[in-house]
Amino acid sequence: MAGGSDAAETLSCARCSNPASLQCPKCVQLKLPREGAAFCTQDCFKASWSSHKSVHLKAKLSSLGTDGAGGQNSDLASEGWLYCLRKGQSRTPKLPPFNWTGSLRPYPISVKRNVPAHIDKPDWANDGVPKVEPNSDWQHRVEIKTPDQIERMRETCRIAREVLDAAARMIRLGVTTDEIDRVVHEATVAAGAYPSPLNYHFFPKSCCTSVNEVICHGIPDARKLEDGDIINVDVTVYYKGVHGDLNETYFVGNVDEASRKLVQCTYECLDKAISIVKPGVRFRDVGEVINRHGSMSGLSVVKSYCGHGIGELFHCAPNIPHYGRNKAVGVMKAGQTFTIEPMINAGVWRDQMWPDGWTAVTADGKRSAQFEHTLLVTETGVEVLTARLPSSPDVLPWLNK
């Protein structure tokens, strides 16, 4: 609690009704009425906190337009911006009720972006339902790519990297995640490619933007990036019949030291995991390497989501768990392509799902970070197909040390 109120009038303590001169700093920040936010002593404030803090939540929900009172989000709704529900299959003009784990809330999303007719599209582009992928033999066997497939994947992953770099250049205060999605969509289409996430199992956008406590699959929306945020942008493109997938986590403005360490440690987890990739290594060993480094830093490794095979299918065998003591089967062989994409949390590893059916958040509301590459196992080691380019923006400060 910050100091005295500058109010000239005499206020009563919200707890005991005695004359009060102290004010709840959060209420001041939210510009709430002084009545009901004043306290006579620190003890009264602390004793009232468990019930008083609900005032802050109600104010935040109201600012998001949940009261239907002609605010910004009401204006957005009239332009087709609505909240996402049921994995993208329905929309609503009001914020859905939910026991949010952290301070982040969903905002309305814009209408689906169009892809030109000349762009080659995956089989879910029109109706949201993958047809080939779920029943493919490659869900149970790890494909060895042909030289032609490998060359096409190199091209596709290069495009994916350039698209992510375009998104990275957009990261700054006041930019909405929807604007980032627009850049991803336009850059992908300009390269003659299709944004793989768009309408995949009805996902409504062309990339994933996961802010602060969002672990993965955050949906780009009308929220503006704020000072101190961290944001992961996950890009996948479909070109010449194959997919390329990568993501990175970025800083927005002045980020606290704990978040900086979280993001850097997550990058290091991926880097260390990639360093062991070569023929003969067990898939399960990837998780051991990541878990060891994350745990040594006092962080936790998400168990609900894993790396995956990729190529002509967006997701296929092998599954690559990122946690220790996992039961992944099989060994790496030259010609295999897959992603490694550790998600590392500042608190517990467990997650919850938002009402949109896509956004996975930390169960305790603490922050999460992620990095991802698409990899090719070679005869002697590994080729990072989505590696950073000389032209990639300088946005990861530890790489300059």
- What three-state secondary structure class fits 189? helix
Residue 372 is labelled as binding a ligand: yes
- The C-alpha atoms of residue 266 and residue 285 are separated, in whole angstroms, by 17
Residue 308 is labelled as binding a ligand: yes
Q: Which residues contact 385 (CB under 8 A, 6 or more apart)?
A: 153, 154, 157, 158, 244, 337, 373, 374, 375, 376
**Residue 76 phi, psi (nearest 5):** -60, -40
User: Hey, what are 64's tokens?
Assistant: 């998001």
User: Hey, what are 315's tokens?
Assistant: 């997701």
**Residue 399 phi, psi (nearest 5):** -70, -15
User: Hey, what are 303's tokens?
Assistant: 């168990």
- The C-alpha atoms of residue 153 and residue 52 are separated, in whole angstroms, by 55
Which H/E stretch holds residue 134? helix 132-135
Secondary structure E strands in 171-219: 194-195, 208-211, 214-216
- What three-state secondary structure class fits 319? strand
Q: Which residues contact 312 (CB under 8 A, 6 or more apart)?
A: 149, 241, 242, 243
CA distances from 255 to 112, 258, 260, 266, 370 (A): 32, 8, 7, 16, 16
Residue 217 is labelled as binding a ligand: yes
- The C-alpha atoms of residue 88 and residue 91 are separated, in whole angstroms, by 7
Taking only Cα atoms into account, the Rg of the chain, rounded to an integer number of angstroms, comes to 23
CA distances from 234 to 43, 284, 369, 384 (A): 46, 24, 12, 16
Q: Which residues contact 78 (CB under 8 A, 6 or more apart)?
A: none
Residue 315 is labelled as binding a ligand: yes
**Residue 262 phi, psi (nearest 5):** -60, -50
Residue 245 is labelled as binding a ligand: yes
Residues annotated in a binding site: 217, 234, 245, 308, 315, 341, 372
Residues annotated in a binding site for Zn(2+): 234, 245, 308, 341, 372
Residues annotated in a binding site for a protein: 217, 315
